[in-house]
A and B are shown apart, each in its own frame.
Chain A
Amino acid sequence: MGKGGALTAAGQVAKLGYKNIQVYSEGIPGWVKAGFPLDKAIPRPEIPPLAPSQLQEKLEDAYLLDVRPEESYKQGHIKGSKNIPTDLISGRFQEIPTGKRIIIINISGTPEWVPTGWFLKSKGYNDVMMLKGGIDAWQKEGLPLAK
């Protein structure tokens, strides 16, 4: 999580009455840069990327899963996509139909970091892809967003 997220969490912990709070704003990038190990709990199967132009051709066939926060989704999303934010996926993934190709849409996105895709594969969803570059790339291509 970025520093902003950690600060939000710190604010909430402070409200609960904890007095001794510190933020590790360097986060995982700083930890890895220093050469320290991470715990990696789940397998990381390949989640193939789709370029925005390729996705536009497949809009009808796939289940478009937008995992951005609800506020971002409301500001503009790919027509026909459904919003389940990453925070809520583990409790709501049953809403996602089986037997359909799922395409994950994030703010940006690289095929090397798709936790939602790895999670869905672990739950038996076999055909999972991701929008390469996320909504940012979609917009840069000048493709339309619905509100």
Chain B
Amino acid sequence: MTTGPTTEEDLRARVRALLDAHDPAAADPADFLRARFDAGLAWVHFPEGLGGLGAPRAMQRVVDAELAAVSAPDNDPRRIGIGLGMAAPTILRYGTEEQKQRFLRPLWTGEEVWCQLFSEPGAGSDLAGLRTRAVRDGDGWVVDGQKVWTSSAHNARWAILIARTDPDLPKHQGITYFLCDMTDPGVEVRPLRQITGEAEFNEVFLSGVRIPDAHRLGAVGEGWRVAQATLMNERVAIGGLALPREGGMIAPVAAAWRERPELRTPALHDRLLTLWVEAEVARLSAERVRQQLAVGAPGPEGSGLKLAFARLNQQISGLEVELLGEQGLRYGDWTMVRPQSVDFYGRDAGYRYLRAKGNSIEGGTSEILRNIIAERVLGLPSEPRNDKDVAWKDLPR
């Protein structure tokens, strides 16, 4: 990593130079974003030449604030969360120079949306038990299998994919990580309707999908280790979103409380304040982890953030429906739609309540996260297991 500017003044000067060359009001948004990437102002902690300046991660705020102040086009991070939060840090860490140059720029500008082909119908919490196969074929691989819970698959140009390349090895050792072209004719995406009524997720069927070996990320058989980097980043991305005070799920409840005095009761008041306090504490915890991570990669602390985030979102959204009383009996719309982005806080109270149920399942269930904290943070013994030294093909299923 090269040494970049470390002062806020340097960054502001670079932002001014970008704005001088590319009028944010007049420029084509995609052109502007490409120019921002090339100026190293996309993610300042990335290396020079890859959208960054090798600066401390925390200094991104300076850039974002300057650009927000002039309403510059942004890359709609909610639409491309999987690319930004999961694919990008993994490609940065394990990718070849060619892969970094090819993928990071359109990923960041949003010209290429990414999705994540990890979970399978038979491999959720036990992700390493996955059965999607990748078989070597000349200078590439042929992939067959089924993935599930794939948000954004219907918009995605690329996917991060883990598949089994050696069934004769124990399950964690026979996995390899790939970058999969979602336009391959062997990829079929079907909407998966969820309890909110909409289909934010998909099932993805992979039939004879061809992946060139140049799109393998990391060594053959190293996929589990590479995937760990993705998953650690995913938990930080889900639980560690930078929110303002009273942001996120508590915002609509506080607003309803202020606007509708007729709903107030003493019992609800104390619950509201209890959850407001817990939401604020969770926000401060996320901020503290961000300060710890200002340089460096996420550790298991991210699992804690996500655990708190899931519990709070569920409790707060539950309170909101109850607070609304009669209005809580109504639901906006059960029509099956395929949204363009993942939205935890949108639509109405009923939607938020139902969507929050997924928060303790997606990206690692709360039960798995508690195991991770107990084992990796507190150093307690691992769960007893009988699948560690057995060839994957010989496991009972």
Q: Is the pairing of A and B real?
A: no
